[in-house]
Amino acid sequence: MAWSTRETQARRSIGMGISHTFDRVMDMTHNAYSAGLGPYDTWCVDPAITASGDGKTWEGAWKTMTEAIDACSDGDTVLLAGTLTEHIDYSSYAAGPNRIRILGAGEGIEAAVWLQVLLGTSTSHMIDLQCHGWTFDNIQFRGPKAYSIIKLDMPTSAGGARCTTIKNCWLRRPAGSGDEHNIGIEFVSVYDCHIINNDIMIGGNDDNSWGMTQTEVGFTFPNAITIMGNRFQECENQIHLDLINSHVLYNIFQSQGYTQATTEHLNLGLGYANTVFGNSFGGNYTTDGGSYVAGSGDNWAGNFSTDTGEAEVADNGITVAVPAAGAAD
Bigger pLDDT: 225 vs 87: 225
Q: What pLDDT, in 10s, does the model give residues 252-270?
A: 998 655 555 678 899 998 9
For residue 95, is it within any domain? Answer: yes
324 falls in which pLDDT band (50, 70, 90)? very high
**Nearest-angstrom CA–CA distance, 123 and 116:** 22
Decide if 311 is inside a domain. Answer: no
- Residue 45 falls inside a structural domain: no
Residue 44 lies in a domain: no
Convert the pLDDT of each residue in 44-77 to its tens digit. Answer: 988 888 999 999 999 999 998 889 988 999 999 9
pLDDT for position 148: 82
Distance between CA atoms of 306 and 283, rounded to whole angstroms? 8
Distance in angstroms (rounded) separating the CA atoms of residues 102 and 84: 13
Instruction: Say how many domains are in the chain.
Output: 1
Pair 149, 141: CB distance under 8 Å: yes
Give the domain range for residue 89: 77-305
Q: What is the pLDDT of residues 265-316, one digit of tens each?
A: 999 989 999 999 999 998 899 999 889 999 999 999 999 999 999 999 999 9
38 lies in some domain: no
